[in-house]
Every structure is written in structure tokens, then in C-alpha cells.
A and B are shown apart, each in its own frame.
Chain A
Amino acid sequence: MSKLLVSPSPHIHSKDSTRSLMLDVVIALLPAVLCSFVFYGWREILVMAVSVCSCLLLEWAITRFLLKKPSTLCDLSAVVTGILLGLNLPYTTPWWVVFVGAVVAIGVAKMTFGGLGQNIWNPALVGRVFLLVSFPTYMTTWSQPQGLFGVDAVTGPTPLGAINEGLMQGATVQDIMAQNGYDYGQMLFANLGGSAGEVCAIALLLGFVYLCVRRVIKPWITLSIFATVALTALIFWGVNPARFTGPVFNLLTGGLILGACFMATDYVTSPMSLWGGVVFGVGIGFLTMMIRYFGSYPEGVSFAILIMNSFVPLLNRAFHQKKFGR
């Protein structure tokens, strides 16, 4: 008689695994990645390749030599971090700057805290912000996209940067918008200066819908960010349209869509409960707008998400699920 396996129930498991969830995130990011390749050409492919490969290499090296634990590359979380970091950088970023970003993202923000699941801040964002404050020249000079295998022509600031700069020189928002020829339709589909992942809003939203349909993420965090940004902008813009930019402009510029759909919804660094998520999203939206309107940096999404990441343990403590019969 053969031996029988005995273990407590349940005896079956769903097909979900960390790897399958991460794979879904990678799939959801593919449209945005492909768009960035098409718009920015081979240099963006290079940035993305360096970013993903260095993240994988660093995670492998740290688990192998420092932690002496089995490799965690199979869970694909390093690939997600790599892609997000790549999407957060301008395509003109030198390869060694990308590598430094990966060192900070994986080495400092992720593995120092104990690897996947233990980090407090989103690794890709920590990498991005580190580069932003350390190498502002590389990170804030953007070239207008020239298409696959094209050459750089115009170098200019991002829409948010242009507004920030223009306002400091005393111009009104309307003047700056007209001067730069910004158009919302164009913003939605492509072709504005910015980091790779900001280039195509539709591609990002497509990925977001995919993640919601596959039930990888729930839409509350993202939607509450969008709603808060729109509402805050509406109030300020309604009061003084010459000084403050409007809701549509703020929704479509900067890394807002990328951040709200893919960075703020990172499992590890976002609250688990519905209302915790809503408060988290409202906080990100509000902080983003405050930084954009009143801060010295033109762009606030990264900082806003990192700040709210810090509150996640508190939010998890404060907001719980509705319990049955209680």
C-alpha cells in the first residue's frame, strides 16, 4: 500500500502566485513600454534594458552573496521594478545613471528592508527621486520625442516644468500654454516632453484596465487620486486661472497616470483596506497638487506617493475590513 499524503485543509489552491501577479503587471505595462520604444527609439530601449537587467543582476547578487538565500528572481518583482524605473527616466539618461538608480531602487529601497514585501517605499520611485535630486541635469532636460530610430532635435522642459518656470517669470498660465502649443488631445495620445512612461496616457490606462479586469489591483486608490487631483485643481483654477493650471492639464501631465495606476497601487507599499486605500489616494492627490502649485519642484507625484507610503502602516492600523456580524 502506497503512502498517503496527509495535511490540513484546504487541499487545493488557486492558480494565483506572486509570479503570476507580477507577470500580469508586466503585461499591463507592455503597451506603455512599446509606446515609449516607438516614440523615443533605440535609446529608450537601451535605458529600459539597462534598468531591467541591472535590477535583476543586483537582486541576484544581493540574495546570492550578501543574504546567502535562494534567488528570488523567479517572482518577477525585480522585473517590475526595472520596467517602472525605466519608464520613470528620460530616454536621454546615460546608462550609468540608470544603473545608479537601480542600485538605489533594489539595493537600498528593497533589499535593505528585507526584500519583496518588507520595503516601506516603492523601490522604483526611491530610485527615481534619488536620481532627481542627485543628477538634476540629466533628469530635468527633456528632449522632444523623435520616434523610433530618429534623432534628437528640440530639447525643452516638460509641460509642468515650462509652467513652473513661466510662472516664476511672471507669465500667466494661458500665455505659457499657448506659447508652447499644448493641446489636451495630443497629451492623451502622445508626444509631450517627459519621461518615457509619461508619453502615452491611453497606453497606461489600457494597462490599468487590464489589471482591474484581472483583479490584480482594485481601482479605489487610482480613482481617488484622479478625483482628488481633479477636484483640487478645479478649485484653485476656478479661483485664479492665470496662476493655477486646470484639472485636465493636471491629470494628463507629469507622471500622474503612471504613478496613480502602477506605483501607488503597488501591493507592498499601499494600504490593504478599501477606506485606507481611499485615504491614501486622497493624500497622494492632494500632496501632488500642493507640490505642483506651491513647491519648487515642478512635479509632485513621486514625492507625494513616497510621503503617503510612509503612512501605510498607520492606515493599515486605522482602517479595517467590515467584519461579519460585528
Chain B
Amino acid sequence: MSKHTFAIGGVHPHDNKLARDSRIEILPPAPTMYISVAQHLGAPAQPVVAVGDKVKVGQVLAGPGGFVSAYVHSPVSGTVKSIGPRPDLAGRPVPHIEIAVEGDEWMEDIDTSDNLVTDLPADNAAIIEKIHKAGVVGLGGATFPTHIKLSPPPGSKCERIIINGCECEPYLTSDYRVLLEKGEQVAVGAALIAQVMGNVPCTIAIEENKPEAIAHMREVVAKLGYKNIEVMELKMRYPQGSEKQLIDAVMHRQVRSGGLPISVGAVVQNVGTALAVYEAVQKNKPLIDNTITVTGKCFPKQVNLQVRVGTPFSYIIDSLGGMPEDAVKVISGGPMMGKAIANLDASTLKGTSALLFLTEKETRRAPESACIRCGKCADACPMGLEPFLLQKLSRIADTEALEANAAQDCIECGCCLYSCPAHIPLLDIIRTGKGLALGAIRARAAAAKAAAEAAKSSVIPSEAKESKK
């Protein structure tokens, strides 16, 4: 059987999975933890605790602040010290809840044992409610609230669940280690998600550079007797872990521009999310910790850490021996899509996947030179866009042409900038163009809505006038 992959574009950066053989270690909580209320896509959560309150591990700290929002739980036991703005990793002020850690007292209903619970509850609505109450969000990067993703709009039909174990970003190994060490839990989580979506088949997609994980998961699925879960080996190619590209690779269906994965019958969940779903439903454990890779060629240790949400980056780094001397850049996430950290006192979020240290040599951008029209950016773009053109249109802010050339479809994977031999900062520039195109589309949608409402309200007065006559 030939290995599957997505149809268009993609690049092959060296995978540098330096920490692949390091078992997951548990990092004890920092003396003071800072828990952000904006750890998910959508409205920030609203704090429900007050300064001075005693909290336990797993207690709700903040409730959803809107429809698209999520619960935030205390990852530690202790006293709430303050609630207020604190700079996040980019230095922007975001409301945080500060907790001084005292002991490690968990909520009574959380099952902290290691027993694998394989009996799935029958009530799907209750499962989704548990996922909602546990604050589970997508851990593949977007941190979209999982309970909403598992409640598709009426009329849409899910045909397949894809568990995303690609981990196509170089350096990252946390999903790989979770598959190897907590494969059973991931499989049960996958089975739960498949059941909720209507007992649909499920594919656990893993790239070929992780043969141990593929073999292990095949074994686990066979052992647990899940007939409708298969493990699929994919070719190694970045950005295969991107939702649209993964659906294309697994199901050979392309989500249309502006569409949702459910429109082609797919729901994609990350390996970490499947684990979080398992823990939420089977163990009553909310999402209060996750596995992150701490790595880098200049970093003496290559580790995978299970970290409580809200641990300051500086605490993690200090506990591993401090900043390496030649590191100039610290990235939260992978080198292709991760965010450069400006403030090391910021704390981890639910969606934090890695801390990566890069040296000046590894991350240096060569000076920009003239475009030689080689077309390598267009070959690399997994969305089939033409970055060289979008870049020019972005520079002159031609919104109409940007939209016509699909700037809004850009997934910001970075393949264009990665492959440009002239070192043109393509993606940096295209991001502004994408913003323009999206802005125009939203403005049109808003205007159409307003016009429709105006038409509706204007009909009534005119009718009223006629009846007067």
C-alpha cells in the first residue's frame, strides 16, 4: 500500500526530533502559578473565584465568557493571590489568576489512579457535557473548544474522525511520546469521540518518521478490540498536521475555501485532545496539564515534560539548568509556526506544545534580495496559492486582487518563506494582505446582513402606509 499524503505543495524540513527517546517526566508545579483566562479560541473566560479563596486541583477558576469559550480550572491547590492583567508571551496584558501553591490537594471526584477505564458511557450528550465542563480545547494549535467541534451544526454529517498524530513540525515529540506511553488512553479517547459523532470510523494518522508509534498504536487498537479504528501511516511532509491537508491526505477530500472540515464529513482531533477527552470523560479530570517538549540543538537536555497549565516558562527553564548561552530565540511551539517568546515570565497555556531554543545561526534570516521568479514559493504552498503574487499585492494593498487570488485561504504555515531562495519575508507581508482580504469579506457579509435587515424593516412601514390609504 502506498503511503498517503496531501496533494499540493509542502516542504521537507529536517525533522530534528532530538527528544524522541526521552520518556515523559512530570514537572512539579512552580511555587506561584499564573493561569490565563484566554487559553482558547473565542471569548476569554470569566473568573468565578475571588482573591483569598482556597482552591483545589481541578476546581473551576473561570467559566465560559460566551458561546465559543471554555472553562479554566485550577491546576494546583492553594490560595488565589491576585486576579489581573499580566503580560503574556508576547508582552501583551491578559487577565491571569495568580495562585500561591500549597500542597497538592485534588478535587474528590477526580480519579487520580492509573487504571485504564475502557467502558464507554452510553449517553452522548453527557459525554459532551463532561468535555465542556472539563475545559477541553483542541491541542493541535488552534485551541478551539472541543465540545463545539463535537456538536456539528444540524444538517451536517460526520463520516470519519481523524486523530492527528502527524506532529509534522520539526523538533516536537510530545504527541509521539504520548502515543507511546499513553496510547491506550488516546485510543479510548478516540473511541469516545467516534461514538459521540455517531459511531463513525476513526483514523489515527501518524507520519512515517514515527514507526514505533505506528506499531504501538496498531497493537493497542488490536488489544482493545476497536474494529472501527485504523492506524494510517502517512508520508513525512510539512504541513501535514494542518487540518485541511490532513483531511486531504487521509480522505482525499478537499475542504472548500471558507468551509469547515465537517462539510466534507471529517472531524479532526489532535492526539493530545483525544487524551484530554479520555481524562475528562473517564477520569473526571479537567484539562490542567499537558505534555511539552523542551528541546533545541543548543539546549543540553532534550526532554518531554508533563507540565501543569500556568507554569512560568522561566521556571521550566531554570529547573532544567537555565538558558543556554548561545540561544537567541525561544519559541513556544515548533520552528515553522511557533511564536517567539518575548517575555519568559509568561506561563504555559493549554495549547503550549514545546519550548524550543534556537541559536543565531539556526534562526538568522539572510538579507532580502530580488525575486528571481523561480516559483519555489508556489510549489511549496500547500493551499496552491502564489505567494510571490500575493506578496506584491499585499505591498500595494490591492484588496480586490488579494481576494481574487485567495489570500484569505493562506494557512500561515510558512512554507513560502521557508523555501524562498531570495529570502523575501513572504509570509510576513502576506499576513497583512490576508487581513485585508478577510476584512473585505467580513465587511461585505456584515453589509449584506444589515441590508437584509433594513429591507425587512422598510417593508413594514410601506405596508402600513398603504393600509392607511
Contact = CB atoms under 8 A, between A and B. Distances in A.
Contacts of B8: 321-322, 324
B385 to A, nearest CB: 7
Contact of B373 (A4, A7, A117, A320): A117
Contact of A326 (B257, B370, B431): B257
Contacts of B249: none
A4 B343 CA distance: 8
A13 B340 contact: no
Interface stretch (A15-23, A222-230, A295-303): A15-23
A155 interface: no
Classify chain B's interface size.
Answer: 35 or more
Contacts of A267: 372-375
B382 A324 contact: yes
Contacts of B373: 117, 267-268, 272
B370 A115 contact: yes
A320 B259 contact: no
B386 interface: yes
A17 B367 CA distance: 11
B100 interface: no
B323 interface: yes
A212 to B, nearest CB: 14
Contacts of B328: 2, 4-5
Interface in B239-292: 244, 248, 254-257, 259
Nearest to B238: A10
Interface string B384-419: 111010000000000000000010010010100111
A10 B369 contact: no
Interface string B409-441: 100101001110111000110010000000000
B254 A11 contact: no
Interface in A1-33: 1-2, 4-14, 16-18, 20-21
13 contacts: A1-B344, A7-B329, A9-B427, A11-B363, A20-B421, A115-B370, A268-B373, A321-B381, A321-B385, A322-B8, A325-B259, A326-B384, A326-B409
Main secondary structure of the interface of A (DSSP, over half): loop
B421 A16 contact: yes
B374 A11 contact: no
B369 to A, nearest CB: 6
Given A14-B13, A267-B374, A324-B8, A9 B414 contact: yes
Given A6-B340, A75-B369, A323-B384, A13 B418 contact: yes
* The 4 nearest A-B residue pairs measured at CB: A10-B414, A272-B375, A117-B370, A323-B384
A134 interface: no
Interface in B307-339: 323, 328-331, 335-339
Interface of B: 7-8, 11, 13, 90, 170, 244, 248, 254-257, 259, 323, 328-331, 335-342, 344, 358, 360, 362-363, 365-366, 369-376, 378, 381-386, 388, 406, 409, 412, 414, 417-419, 421-423, 427-428, 431
Contacts of A72: 369
A118 interface: yes
Contacts of A326: 256-257, 384, 406, 409
Residue from A7, A13, A273 whose CB has the most chain B CB atoms within 10 Å: A13
A154 interface: no
A11 B428 contact: no
Contact of B418 (A14, A21, A268): A14
A213 interface: no
A5 B363 contact: yes
B385 A323 contact: yes
A324 B336 CA distance: 20
B442 to A, nearest CB: 19
